[in-house]
Amino acid sequence: MKFDVLTLFPEMFKPLEESIIGRATKNKKIEINLVNIRDYSKDKHKKVDDTIYGGGAGMLIKPDVVYDAYKSVASEKAKVIYLSPKGKTLCQDKVESLAKEEHLILLCGHYEGIDQRVIDKIVDEEISIGDYVLTGGEIPAMVLIDSVSRYAQGVLNNESIKDESFSNGLLEYPQYTKPELFENMKVPEVLLSGHHKNIERFRRNKSLELTYRNRPELLEKVELTKEDKEYLENLKKEDNDGYIKIN
């Protein structure tokens, strides 16, 4: 899988040289090519931005430099994504579907953003990483590359991905490693029992509880078993018994 990143700040992508993504690049499971948009400026001072028509604070990246940078990597198969707070929010389903693409071109804005005409001309999809505004699209592009690459062929083994948060619609259960006793806190007994069915139920219940407490809206989309429903009903009952309801 190939990522071409159009950016004014290629040096910001150093973190992707580390750890799992760095290894995946070295092993040629993924390829990350950084394209400096500034290299395509025809201006003698390498200017890439200008003031905004109609007024307004800040500067906008010019369409022609972005277009020329794009043309240097364009391909028939490529899907072009503009990282933007105006896009649809990135979620696990989107990550997994993007991992099936062969070639992604990621466009990073900066300053006030990018002239709309080049966005209309080349971009297939706008993706946001959350409802807040960052100074540039570089960190969002790294978030996208990191999350998508984990699902690219040969980057992780399938077992590591299987039970993770969101993969079955729920948040992942808490996990523990050695030592068995830490600061007077013991690893839950059931995890030491070797009883696979009980361990599975314990983990499922913890996932349900965490999702119910932190992201209850996710539960609406999950297929729940009779046991799941009973467990959640009991949780809700305990909560209601424990709190004094106002209004």
Task: Tell me the closest approach of the beta carbon of residue 19 to ligand SAM, in angstroms.
Answer: 22
Give contact residues for ligand SAM (rule: CB under 6 A): 83-86, 108-110, 112-114, 128-130, 132-137, 140
Q: Which is nearer to ligand SAM, 10 or 140 (CB)?
A: 140
Q: Which is nearer to ligand SAM, 98 or 208 (CB)?
A: 98
Task: Tell me the closest approach of the beta carbon of residue 85 to ligand SAM, in angstroms.
Answer: 4
CB 105 within 8 A of CB 6: yes
Token pair recorded at residue 43: 């201006």
Is 111 in a helix, a strand, or coil? coil
Q: Minimal CB distance to ligand SAM: which residue?
A: 109
DSSP 114: B
Task: Tell me the closest approach of the beta carbon of residue 139 to ligand SAM, in angstroms.
Answer: 8
**d(C-alpha 65, C-alpha 133), whole Å:** 23
Q: Which is nearer to ligand SAM, 60 or 152 (CB)?
A: 60
Task: Tell me the closest approach of the beta carbon of residue 134 to ligand SAM, in angstroms.
Answer: 4
Of the candidates 202, 163, 145, 160, the one whose C-alpha atom is nearest the C-alpha of residue 15 is: 145
CB 9 within 8 A of CB 15: no
Backbone angles phi, psi at 107, to 5 degrees: -105, 125
Residue pointed to by tokens 């790294």: 142
Token pair recorded at residue 23: 């290894």
Task: Tell me the closest approach of the beta carbon of residue 56 to ligand SAM, in angstroms.
Answer: 9
Between helix 19-26 and helix 138-149 the angle, nearest 10°, is 70
Q: Which is nearer to ligand SAM, 52 or 191 (CB)?
A: 52
Task: Tell me the closest approach of the beta carbon of residue 127 to ligand SAM, in angstroms.
Answer: 7
Of the candidates 30, 32, 36, the one whose C-alpha atom is nearest the C-alpha of residue 10 is: 36
Number of neighbours of residue 83 by Cβ within 10 angstroms: 26
Token pair recorded at residue 63: 């369409």
Q: Which is nearer to ligand SAM, 86 or 195 (CB)?
A: 86
Q: Which is nearer to ligand SAM, 98 or 232 (CB)?
A: 98
